[in-house]
Amino acid sequence: MNGLSIVIGAICVLVIGYRLYGYFFTKKVLLINDKKPTPAHELNDGKDYVPTNKWVAFGHHFAAIAAAGPLVGPVLAAQFGYLPGLLWLLIGAVIGGAVHDAVVLFASMRKKGKSLSEVMKEELGPVAGFCTGLAMLFIITITMAGLSMVVLGALERNPWGTFAVAITIPIAMLVGIAYKKTGNLIATSAIGFILLVIGVFVGPYIQGTVLGEWLTLDRQTLAIILPIYAFFAAALPFWFLLAPRDYLSSFMKIGVFIALIIGVFFVNPVIQFPVVTEFIHGGGPIIAGPVWPFVSITIACGAISGFHAFIGSGTTPKMLDKWEDIRVVGFGAMLVESLVGVMALVAATSLHPADYFAINAAPAVFATLGMEVVNLPQLSQAIGIDLEGRTGGAVSLAVGMTQIFTGVPWFTHLSGYFYQFVIMFEAVFILTAIDAGTRVARYLIQDFLGDAIKPLKRTDWWPGTIFASALACFMWGYLLYTGEIGPIWTLFGVSNQLMASIGLVLGATVILKIATKRIYVLTCIIPLVYLYISVNVAGIWMIKNVYWNSASAGYSVLNGVLSVIMLILGVVIVITALKSWVKLWNSPRFVKGKAIGAV
The DSSP code sequence of 301-315 is TTT--THHHHHHTTT
**DSSP one-letter code for 594:** E
Q: How far is 196 from 588, CA to CA, in rounded Å? A: 61
Cβ pair 550, 482 in contact under 8 A = no
pLDDT at 64: 73
Residue 97: what pLDDT?
94
**Overall pTM > 0.85:** no
Instruction: Give Cβ neighbours of residue 550 (< 8 Å, ≥ 6 apart).
Output: none
Distance in angstroms (rounded) separating the CA atoms of residues 80 and 361 = 14
φ and ψ at residue 208, rounded to 5 degrees: 90, -5
Helix, strand, coil percentages (3-state) for the chain, rounded to 5, are 75, 0, 25
d(CA 39, CA 178): 32
How distant is the alpha carbon of residue 182 from its chain centre?
A: 33
DSSP string, 250-271: HHHHHHHHHHHHHHHHHH--B-
Could you tell me if 76 and 360 are in contact, meaning their C-beta atoms sit under 8 angstroms apart?
A: yes
Instruction: Give the length of the chain.
Output: 599
| Rounded Cα gap, residues 303 and 154, in angstroms | 24
Q: How far apart are CA 298 and CA 304, in angstroms?
A: 11
51 prior amide bond cis, ω within 30: no
Query: What's the sign of the alpha-carbon dihedral 351, 357, 363, 367?
Result: negative
Q: How far is CA 342 from CA 28, 293, 531, 587, in A?
A: 29, 19, 20, 43
On whether the CB atoms of residues 514 and 589 are closer than 8 A, the answer is no
Give dist(CA 444, CA 328) in Å, integer: 29
Give, in degrees to the nearest 5, the angle at Cα 253 between 252 and 256: 70
Answer whether 348's CB lies under 8 Å from 74's CB. yes
Which amino acid does the sequence have at 580?
S
3 state SS for 327-358: HHHHHHHHHHHHHHHHHHHHHHHCCCHHHHHH
**What letter represents residue 79's amino acid?**
Q
Instruction: Read off φ and ψ for residue 232, nearest 5 degrees.
Output: -65, -40
Q: How far apart are CA 574 and CA 582, in angstroms?
A: 12
DSSP symbol at 413:
T
Candidates 302, 298, 368; CA nearest to 336 is 302
What amino acid is encoded at 263 in this protein?
G
pLDDT in tens, the chain (599 residues): 888 899 999 999 999 999 999 999 999 999 998 888 999 899 887 766 888 888 878 877 887 787 666 878 898 899 999 999 999 999 999 999 999 999 999 999 998 888 788 888 888 888 888 888 888 888 888 878 877 777 776 677 778 778 877 887 888 788 878 877 887 767 877 888 788 778 767 877 787 788 888 888 887 888 888 888 888 877 777 667 666 666 666 666 677 777 778 888 888 888 999 999 999 998 888 888 899 999 999 898 889 998 888 888 877 888 899 999 999 999 999 999 999 899 889 988 988 899 888 888 888 888 888 888 888 888 887 777 778 877 767 788 888 888 787 777 776 676 777 777 777 667 766 776 777 677 777 777 877 777 677 777 776 677 888 888 888 889 888 878 876 555 666 777 888 899 999 999 999 999 999 988 889 999 999 999 999 999 999 999 999 988 898 888 778 888 888 889 889 999 999 999 999 999 888 877 665 545 544 44
Instruction: Tell me the one-letter amino acid at 306.
Output: G
d(CA 22, CA 504) in angstroms, rounded, equals 16
- Residue 310: CB atoms within 10 A of its CB come to 25
pLDDT number for residue 243: 61
Positive or negative torsion for Cα 474, 477, 481, 485: positive
Cβ atoms 442, 234 nearer than 8 A:
yes
CB count, 10 Å around CB of 78?
A: 33
